């Protein structure tokens, strides 16, 4: 079983987003970087599947040279090898991202049996890179998955729907996009970090391409500022809190 997992480097925004002066990007000068929680879970799921069924794991990302940090983090969790599709840091459309990833996957000496993605990237949230890769590679695909089981070359996937579950079955090889909650990701171990440091990253120079969806600018939505009424400090405020519940009709008079 050869499992691939795709992650995207995104800024770790705090309580407020600040944009660069040209409104084209998030000002990341004071920010660290991370990947989406969905993708952290995809990494964990890849590890669990390889542990259960045997096989190898590879993490792929398209991004600037600094995105090797996110690859190393995935390797520290246990992913065996990493591929960086190195860009000059410019913006890549979902079509271009998917085309480049699919090409890199095809170029691997051995084909992947399973490709995992996040359901949507944390920043742009286009909900489509995984599906596009599946089409390019001619593989079946299902999105938004919160449970995977593999048995005898078939994959069973669970998706939440209306409080219940929809269950899909797919033949392998396949593409699955996952959501946070599918598992609880492990922490990287110290040995893992040491190993990740020593493992070389495979680098590829992908070809950019134009898209018919063009970003004009980013806008921080106006904040819905409320007038806060401080009901008090400490336990003495309890009476006033209950008065609020009464006002809202949550408890009887």
Ligand X SMILES: Cc1cc2nc3c(=O)[nH]c(=O)nc-3n(C[C@H](O)[C@H](O)[C@H](O)COP(=O)(O)OP(=O)(O)OC[C@H]3O[C@@H](n4cnc5c(N)ncnc54)[C@H](O)[C@@H]3O)c2cc1C
Touching other proteins, residues 67-106 (CB under 8 A): 93-95, 98
| 8 is an interface residue for other proteins by CB under 8 A | no
d(CA 7, CA 197): 18
- Measured from the CB of residue 6, what is the shortest distance to ligand X in angstroms? 3
Binders in 112-151 for other proteins, by CB under 8 A: 120, 122-128, 130-132, 134-136, 140-144
- Residue 163, contacted partner among other proteins, ligand X, none, CB below 5-8 A by kind: other proteins
Nearer to ligand X, 153 or 181 (CB): 181
- Among 59-67, 72-80, 193-201, 222-230, the segment contacting other proteins (CB under 8 A): 222-230
The C-alpha angle 71, 32, 128, rounded to 5 degrees, equals 55
Residue with token string 């090409």: 103
Binders in 109-128 for ligand X, by CB under 6 A: 117-118, 120-122, 124-128
Binders in 218-247 for ligand X, by CB under 6 A: 218
SS3 per residue for 100-168: HHHHHHHCCCCCCCEEEEECCCCCCCCCCHHHHHHHHHCCCEEEEECEEEEECCEEEEEEEECCEEEEE
Which residues have a Cβ under 8 Å from the Cβ of 74 and sit 6 or more positions away? 5, 7, 43, 59, 82
| 28 is an interface residue for other proteins by CB under 8 A | no
d(CA 118, CA 42): 6
- Residue 134, contacted partner among other proteins, ligand X, none, CB below 5-8 A by kind: other proteins
- Residue 188, contacted partner among other proteins, ligand X, none, CB below 5-8 A by kind: none
Cβ-contact 5, 43 below 8 angstroms: yes
Residue 52 phi/psi, 5-degree rounding, is -75, -40
Nearer to ligand X, 1 or 60 (CB): 60
- Measured from the CB of residue 130, what is the shortest distance to other proteins in angstroms? 8
Q: For binding to ligand X (CB under 6 A), which residues are involved? A: 6-8, 12, 24-25, 34, 36-39, 60-63, 91-94, 97, 101, 117-118, 120-122, 124-130, 211, 213-215, 218
């Amino acid at each position: 079983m050869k499992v691939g997992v795709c992650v995207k480097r995104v800024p770790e925004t705090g309580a407020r987003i600040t944009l660069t002066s040209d409104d084209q990007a998030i000002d990341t000068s004071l920010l660290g970087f991370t990947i989406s929680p969905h993708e952290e879970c995809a990494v964990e799921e890849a590890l669990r599947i390889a542990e259960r069924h045997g096989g190898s794991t590879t993490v792929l990302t398209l991004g600037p040279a600094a995105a090797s940090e996110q690859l190393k983090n995935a390797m520290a969790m246990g992913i065996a090898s990493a591929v960086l599709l190195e860009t000059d840091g410019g913006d890549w459309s979902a079509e271009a991202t998917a085309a480049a990833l699919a090409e890199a996957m095809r170029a691997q000496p051995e084909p992947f049996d399973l490709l995992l993605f996040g359901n949507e990237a944390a920043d742009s949230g286009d909900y489509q890179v995984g599906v596009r890769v599946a089409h390019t590679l001619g593989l079946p695909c299902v999105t938004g998955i919160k449970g995977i089981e593999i048995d005898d070359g078939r994959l069973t996937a669970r998706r939440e729907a209306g409080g219940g579950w929809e269950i899909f079955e797919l033949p392998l090889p396949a593409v699955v996009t996952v959501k946070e909650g599918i598992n609880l990701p492990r922490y990287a171990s110290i040995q893992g970090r040491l190993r990740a440091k020593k493992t070389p990253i495979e680098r590829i120079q992908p070809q950019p391409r134009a898209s018919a969806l063009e970003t004009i600018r980013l806008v921080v939505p106006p904040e819905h500022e409320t007038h806060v009424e401080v009901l008090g400090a400490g336990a003495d405020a309890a009476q006033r809190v209950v008065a609020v519940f009464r006002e809202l009709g949550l408890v009887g008079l």
